[in-house]
Structures are given as C-alpha cells and as structure tokens.
Structure 1
Amino acid sequence: MSVVIVIPARYASTRYPGKPLVALTGATGEAKSLIQRSWEAASQVQGVDRVVVATDDDRIRAASEAFGAEVVMTSESCGNGTERCAEALDVLGGGYDIIVNLQGDAPLTPHWFVEDLIAGLRADTGAEVATPVLRCDGRALNGFLDDRANGRVGGTTAVFGEGARALYFSKEVIPYTPRRYEAEEATPVFHHVGVYAYRPQALRDYATWPMGPLEQLEGLEQLRFLERGRAVLCVEVAAQGRQFWELNNPEDVPRIEAMMREMGMA
C-alpha cells in the first residue's frame, strides 16, 4: 500500500496567525520553525513514499522549500486540514492507498505514532479513517483541566467503544473525571493526537460534505466523519517516555520548548 504524508499549513490561523513560522528552540539552542519541525517529524516515519507540505501561503511555501520540503499549493477556501489534504491529493494526481494528515502544529509527534496508525488502518478493512489516541497520565490530564479552568482551549480528548470505533471527540475533557490524578498515574482520559490516516474515497467524500453542527460547535474537523456515520478507528499509541503536546496557543510555545529540552530534542 502506497502512503503519502501531507502536512497542511495555513498562515491565517484564527487562534494563532502565522503559527507555522513560529520559531521553536530545542535542547541545542537552535531555533527552527514549527513547520520545519513538523516536516522533520514526518520524515522520520518509516514505510512512507512521499512527504509534502500543503499550503495556500507563499511565505510558508518559501520557508518550507528553503529547508528542502516538497510543497503543494492549495486554495485559500480550504476550511481545515482534512479539506486541504483532499485538495492536495487531487493536485498530486491520486495514486495513494493511504493519505496521512500530519498537522503542522504537532512537532513532538513520534514516528511510531504514525507508523502504528498506518498499520491500524491497513489491518482494519472496515475503517475508513484512523486517528491515534494516547492515554493521559495525571500530568497531561491536569494540564488539560488547568487550560479549561483558565479559558484556554488545550488538547482534544476522545472516547471510543467496541472495536475501538470513535464515539466522540471534544475540546472539553471527556469522560468526566471526579478527581485529580498524580503526575505519573494512568487516567481514564485519552488525548486525541491530531494525526489522521484516510482511505482515498473517504477523503474525497469528506470534501463534498457541508460542515455539520457538532463540527461547527467544537471546531473539530474529524466530527464531520462521525456526523455522517463513517467509521473512525482510534489507534491507541504508547508514549514510550516521550511527552506530547500540540501548539494551539502562544502560551504553548514555552511549554513545548521545555518538553523538547527535557527530551533532548535538537
């Protein structure tokens, strides 16, 4: 099965304009843009035939080409990363069995998250889309709860049922947890990792559907699949000692840089 990773990136983010070009400094003191760090994370994934950045902005195109990325230009009308991936697939001419959406705000995504995701979709022929979930420890969960208490949108959580089929995704912390947990304690909450693997037809279908009410309320693109009754597979991945966080707000920059230094990431 041929696989392409698409990194959708737009400059005009509602919450954080210019986010793909924000510099992140690692353990060696070297500053690299968010889009470069996301591309480097994608390039570490084994078993992938191609990695491309998909954008509608010449500043992101120029920055990406400067560090050696292949860039696909897409339209400004794309409402989210999944729509941009669908358009990028058409620009590329199709020909891929699995399209991975590695969103450009998750530079800490370990390569095995994506490798496990691809393997999960290959193995489950009934699933049209797959996405990773990571069981929160107390430190991660408490970070989510603190963000919500302070009016910030932090990570997304997921609940799933039999066959690991997704039931719902939310920017609220679900399911409800009646207590706080110790830093290293396992919790019943799963962090949704913002990576997707699609079968080509599911991705093309998605681009033809209007936004549903749940997607509009939550601002979560994957809910469009659930609202259409499509099977979304949740693939549980293991942190293996790595920390994971997405860059959603300016306040996340020092948090991610601290994680990078702690993990010795250059």
Structure 2
Amino acid sequence: MSVLVVIPARYASSRYLGKPLVELRGATGQAKSLIQRTWEVAQQVAGADRVVVATDDDRIASASEAFGAEVVMTSSEARNGTERCAEALDALGGGYDIVVNLQGDAPLTPPWFIEDLVAGLQNAATAEVATPVLRCDGAALNGFLGDRRAGRVGGTTAVFGADNQALYFSKEVIPYTPGTYADADETPVFHHVGVYAYRPSALAAYPRWPVGPLETLEGLEQLRFLEQARPVLCVEVEGKGRAFWELNNPEDLPRIETILAELGTP
C-alpha cells in the first residue's frame, strides 16, 4: 500500500501564534524549527512513500523549502489539519492508499508510532480512520492534571471500547481517576497521540460534514467522525521508555527541549 505523510501547519494558531516556526534546541544546542523537527521524524518512518508540508502561509512554506521539504500550498479556508490534508491530497491528484496526518507540533513522535498506526489501519479491513493512543504512566498523568489545575489546555485523552473503537476524546482527563500515582505507575488513562491515518474516501468526505457541537466545544477535529457516526480505530502504541509530549503551549518548550537533549537528538 502506498502511504502519503502530510504535515499540516498554520501560522495563526489560536493558542500559540507562529508555533510551527518556534525554534527548539536539541542535544547539541542546535536550534531547529518545530516544523523541521517534525519533518525529520517523518523522514524516519519506514514505508512512507512521500512526505509533504501542507500550509497556507508563505513564511512556513519558505522555511520548509529551506530545509528540503516538499510543500503543498493549501487555502486559508481549512479549519483544521484534517481538512488541510484533504486539500493536499486533492492538490497532489490522489493516488495513495493511506494518508497520514502528522501534525506539526509533535517533534517527539517516535517513527514506530506512525508505522504501527499504518499497520493497524491496513489490518482492519473495514476501518476508515485510525489514531494512536499511549497508556499514561504516573508522570504523564500528573502532567495532564497539573496543566488542568493551572488552567492550561494540554494534551488530549481518549477512551475506547473492547473493540478498540473510540468512544470519546477530550481535553479533560478522562476517565476520572481518583487517587494518586507514582511516576512509574501504569494508569487507566490513555494519551491521544495527535496523528491520524485515513483511507482517501473518508478524508475526502470529511470537509463536507458540518462541524458539530462536540468538535466546537473540545476543539478536536477527530470528533467530527464520531459525531457523524463514523468509527475511529484506536491503535495502542508503546513508548518503549521514551517520553512523549506535544508542543501545545509556550510552557511546553523547556519540557520538550529537555527530552530532545535526553534522547541525544541534535
């Protein structure tokens, strides 16, 4: 199966203006933009046939082309990354069996998350959309709870059924978990990793659906599938000892730079 990886990126983020061009320092102290670090992750994904950056912003396009990325210009009308991926696929003329949406704020995404996600969708003949989920340890869960106590909107959590079909995604910490956990404890909370794999038919249909109340309230694009009664397959992935976090707020920068340094990422 042919796989296209699209990295949607917009400058006008409501929570973090210009986020794709924010620079992060790695183990050597070298500064690279968030979009470049995410693109470098995509380059490591086994089985990816093509990687493109999809944006409506000339600054992001110029920066991406400068480090060697292929850029697809999309309209400013795209309301989220999924709609931008749909535009990019259309602009490229289709021709791919699976399209991966690797959001441009995830420089810590291990390549195997994407590889396992694609394999999960390939092996589920009736699935149209899939997304990774990572079981939180105590340290990750405490990070979620700390963000909420501070009034910050941090990562997203997911709950799913025995068939691995998503029941709900939220920026609140779900399910409710009384008690406390030590850093290394296994918890019942799953961190939703902001990557998606779509079959082209589902991706093409998505922009035509109305934005529902849950998507509006949570600000989570994947809820449009659930509100249209279209199942979303949750693929559990393993951290293998690596910390994972997205750049959601300026306060996340030091945390991500520390992890990049610990991983030895240049």
- Is TM-score (shorter-chain normalized) higher than 0.5? yes
Give CA deviations for 1:92-123 in whole Å, capped at 9, x if unaligned: 00000100000000000000000000000000
Report what 2:73 is aligned to: 73
In structure 1, what residue type is equivalent to 2:153? V
After superposition, the C-alpha distances for 1:168-212 in whole angstroms (9 at most, x for unaligned) are: 000000000001100011000000000000000100110101100
Describe the superposition over 1:241-264 as per-residue Cα deviations: whole angstroms up to 9, x where unpaired: 111000011111111001111222
TM-score, normalization by structure 2: 0.99
| C-alpha distance in 2 between matches for 1:231 and 1:216 | 19
Cα distance in 1 for residues equivalent to 2:154 and 2:259? 16
Is residue 224 of structure 2 the alignment partner of residue 224 of structure 1? yes
Query: What is the letter of the counterpart of residue 237 of structure 1?
Result: V
Structure-2 separation of matches of 1:224 and 1:264: 38
SS at match of 2:106: coil
Once the two structures are TM-superposed, the CA of residue 163 in structure 1 deviates from its matched residue by 1.4
Residue number in structure 1 paired with 2:15:
15
Pairwise CA distance, 1:11:
0.3
Question: TM-score, normalization: structure 1?
Answer: 0.99
Shift of 1:162: 2.2
Structure 2 residue matching 1:220: 3-state secondary structure: coil
CA distance in 1, matches of 2:236, 2:162: 13
Distance 2:233 2:28 in 1: 38
Contact 1:9–1:53, Cα closer than 8 Å, also in 2: yes
CA distance in 1, matches of 2:86, 2:162: 29
Question: How large is the RMSD of aligned CA atoms in angstroms?
Answer: 0.5
Work out the CA distance in 2 between the residues paired with 1:209 and 1:234.
22
The alpha-carbon deviation at position 236 of structure 1 amounts to 0.3
Deviations 1:150-181 (A, max 9, x none): 10011100000021000000000000000110
Residue aligning to 1:175: 175
Q: Is the 8 A contact 1:245 1:256 kept in 2?
A: yes
Name stretches of at least 5 consecutive residues in structure 2 with no aligned partner: none
Q: Distance in 2 between matches of 1:162 and 1:93?
A: 37
Helix, strand or coil at the partner of 1:251: helix
Matches within 5 A, 1:33-182: 33-182=33-182
Q: Partners of 2:170 and 2:263 in 1: how far apart?
A: 28
Letter matched to residue 116 of structure 2: D
CA distance in 1, matches of 2:35, 2:139: 27
Give me the whole-angstrom Cα distance separating, in 1, the residues matched to 2:150 and 2:202.
Answer: 37
The equivalent of 1:214 in structure 2 is 214
**Number of positions where the alignment pairs a residue of Structure 1 with one of Structure 2:** 266
Q: 1:126, 1:231 within 8 Å by CA — same for their partners in 2? A: no
Quote the Cα distance in structure 1 between the aligned partners of 2:261 and 2:137: 20
The offset of 1:224, in angstroms, is 0.1
- Structure 1 residue identity aligned to 2:15: R
Measure, in 2, the Cα distance between the counterparts of 1:228 and 1:180: 36
Question: What is aligned with 2:199?
Answer: 199
Q: Counterpart of 1:158 in structure 2: which amino acid?
A: A
